[in-house]
Amino acid sequence: MKQKKEKTFEQEIMTSGKIPNFSAVAVFILYVIFFVNITGQEVLDAGIAGIVLYLLMQFVLGPFTNANSSRKLSLRIIDWKENGLDEKSRTNLLADLMHCPVHVGKSVMVVFGGGTIIWALYFYFVVKVSLITFVFILFTCVYSAYIASVAGILCAEKVCSKYALELISEGVDSSIVDKKNFFGFSIKNYFYTFICIPTILSSLSTFMFVFKELSIKENILMLDIAIVIIINAIICISLAIVFGIRFLRYIYEMRDALIKNTTSNNLQDSYFVPTDLANEFSYNIHLINKNTSQFADVLKNAATIGNEIADSVKNLVVISTQNSSVSVEQSTGVRQIVSSMEESDKLSKDISNKITYVNEIANKNLQDVQDGFNTVSESISKMNEITDANITIIDEIKKLNEQIENIWYIVNIISGIADQTKIIAFNAELEAASAGEAGKNFHIVANEIRRLADNTMESTKDIKQRISDIQHSSDSLILASEGGTKKINEGFQLSVKLEDKFNNIKNSSEVTVSSANDIKGFIEQQTISFEQIVITLKQISAGIESSATSIQSVNDLSLQLQKISDSLAELKETVI
């Protein structure tokens, strides 16, 4: 089955005015024809002309004027339905929606008034009624156009109210609502629209009818006047009834809401009256809803607080009872602590005396370590001197070796010279032998020279041996000196390490002395603190005994609070 398409706001406004407009036209046509003296054919022609004008105005001109007054608003409503709006935009849409009925009423008056005026001109130019009759018909046109516009306002308000309720249910800006209160007609304007103006127009209509009849007839029928008065009275009374019913409905809704909320036994079922904020009564309903919500919140909070107080009081009673027993235990415990603190104070004084003795021993150890450190430092200094002297001796031996090397060089030169001399002497002997007797003396000399050369070579050989022994001895001395130097260096390194150890011991001794002094000062402060703590604990003991009395008073107050919380619980059971 095909789903029926939902009407737009513009279509709803157009549809809502059809029946009221037709009813107003029918009453107006009958009213005019009945009180205008014309023939039966003229009545038929005038009726047909009136119906044709109505159809033209309703279905040809009416859609244009309706679109002019409601199409933009209809598009905004469609956008709201499809995309949603924020709070401020919904409030602005609500304000424009509540102004729409006035625009619709103006459009109806223009269309209806224009059609009825054309119909009045039809009477004047076609039917040829008198001028006074034409004026009467023309005034009746204005009267009927006004009644039709009022009916249009009522119908449009009904349509607008439906959308206004949806907007308000989604939420509007409360600051704007509190500032403007409502967005439609005020009660004063309703009174003027539904009571004052219709009464004035009906009175003028009656006067115009009487004046017309007196101008045309010599004797006016009282029945006609009575009928006019009755018809106008019915119109005025109908509008007054509509006015009264409209606002009595608000009063009944407010009364019912107050009765339901005051007789309800459950805050969760608070009754809220839907309101469109169209007038002062709607705003009063809004205030009642707001106050109902606030009152419900207050009662809920009161119930919650009552529960919390009841739970707290129960806990307080338990805690007070526990505190009472704990206070007795604390008082006993504090007395024991005072006794322990007095013993601790005595022990602290003994420790202070021991620390003083330890401090004296630590100072003596520090002095001994300082003396040992100084001795090691002197030993290191002497070993440095020995090392330097040994290095100097090694250097001198090395220089002696260099001198021996020089002697060795000279001995080698002498040995070479002796060899050459020996060769020369041998050659000289050969020459002397070949010379015979003449060379005898020369042979003796050459022989002595050769013998001297041999002795020289023997001596140089002995010198070389001794030089070699000296070199071996100096090398051994150098090796021994270097070994001694190495041992001295090892002893030096051990002395340096020993110096570091003594230095560490010295630093540790200084720290020990400093710590002993600090401990001594701390123990002295602790002794003073213990004395103050003992005094304070004695005061606390007295305070705990006083607190026990106060806790008993709190326990009594807790019992009184328990009674109050029970009363709140009874109130909660009554309200919720």
Q: What are the tens digits of pLDDT across the range 108-148?
A: 888 888 888 888 888 888 888 888 888 888 888 888 888 88
Give the pLDDT mean for 406-410: 76
List of residues 6+ apart from 176 with CB closer than 8 A: 88, 91
- Output DSSP code: residue 17: T
Whole-angstrom distance, CA of residue 530 vs CA of residue 99: 87
Whole-angstrom distance, CA of residue 298 vs CA of residue 283: 22
List of residues 6+ apart from 397 with CB closer than 8 A: 474, 477, 478, 481
pLDDT: is 539 or 44 the higher one?
44
**H helix intervals, 171-273:** 174-180, 187-191, 197-216, 222-263
Can you state the angle between helices 131-170 and 222-263, rounded to 10 degrees?
Answer: 10
Pull the structure tokens for residue 171: 């939420």
Fold adopted by 302-575: Helix Hairpins (1.10.287)
Dihedral angle computed from the Cα positions of residues 142, 143, 149 and 151, in that order, rounded to the nearest 10 degrees: -160
Q: At residue 1, does pLDDT exceed 50?
A: no
Which pLDDT value is given to residue 2? 46
Neighbours of 219 (CB within 10 A): 7
**Which helix (H) or strand (E) covers residue 292, if one does?**
helix 280-435
Give the pLDDT mean for 418-445: 75
Whole-angstrom distance, CA of residue 23 vs CA of residue 16: 12
> Which amino acid does the sequence have at 83?
N
Whole-angstrom distance, CA of residue 184 vs CA of residue 48: 39
> Which amino acid does the sequence have at 139?
F
Whole-angstrom distance, CA of residue 66 vs CA of residue 107: 7
Neighbours of 343 (CB within 10 A): 11
Q: At residue 51, does pLDDT exceed 80?
A: yes
- Give long-range contacts, CB 8 A cutoff, 24+ apart: 369-375: 369/502, 369/505, 369/506, 369/509, 370/506, 372/502, 373/499, 373/502, 373/503, 373/505, 373/506
pLDDT-derived band at 295 (thresholds 50, 70, 90) equals low
End-to-end Cα distance, the chain: 49
Give the pLDDT mean for 428-452: 74
- Does residue 520 sit in helix, strand or coil? helix
Every domain range in the chain assigned CATH 1.10.287: 302-575
pLDDT-derived band at 181 (thresholds 50, 70, 90) equals confident
Q: At residue 345, does pLDDT exceed 80?
A: no
Which pLDDT value is given to residue 473? 74
**Which helix (H) or strand (E) covers residue 194, if one does?**
none
CA-wise closest residue to 288 among 262, 252, 258:
258
Which pLDDT value is given to residue 370? 74
Q: At residue 85, does pLDDT exceed 50?
A: yes
- Select, from the ranges 9-13, 333-337, 556-560, the one with the highest average predicted confidence (pLDDT): 9-13
Pull the structure tokens for residue 215: 């101008």
SS (H, E, C) 26-75: HHHHHHHHHHCCCCHHHHHHHHHHHHHHHHHHHHHHHHHHHHHHHHHHHH
Least confident of 109-123, 160-174, 297-311, 432-446: 297-311
Q: Where are the beta strands (DSSP E) in 251-384?
A: none
Whole-angstrom distance, CA of residue 184 vs CA of residue 279: 6
Average pLDDT, whole number, for the chain?
A: 75
Contact predicate 78/164, CB 8 Å: no
For the chain, the residue count is: 576
Whole-angstrom distance, CA of residue 94 vs CA of residue 86: 12
> Which amino acid does the sequence have at 295?
F
In the chain, what percentage of residues exceed pLDDT 90? 0
pLDDT: is 302 or 59 the higher one?
59
Least confident of 19-23, 130-134, 372-376: 372-376
List of residues 6+ apart from 113 with CB closer than 8 A: 141, 142, 145
- Give long-range contacts, CB 8 A cutoff, 24+ apart: 472-480: 474/397, 474/400, 474/401, 474/404, 475/401, 477/397, 478/394, 478/397, 478/398, 478/401
Pull the structure tokens for residue 220: 């006016």
Q: Is the full-model pTM beyond 0.85?
A: no
Whole-angstrom distance, CA of residue 435 vs CA of residue 443: 9
Q: At residue 453, does pLDDT exceed 70?
A: yes
Least confident of 59-68, 482-491, 559-568: 559-568
CA atoms within 13 A on the CB side of 184: 26
Q: Is the dihedral of CA 202, 203, 204, 208 positive or negative?
A: positive
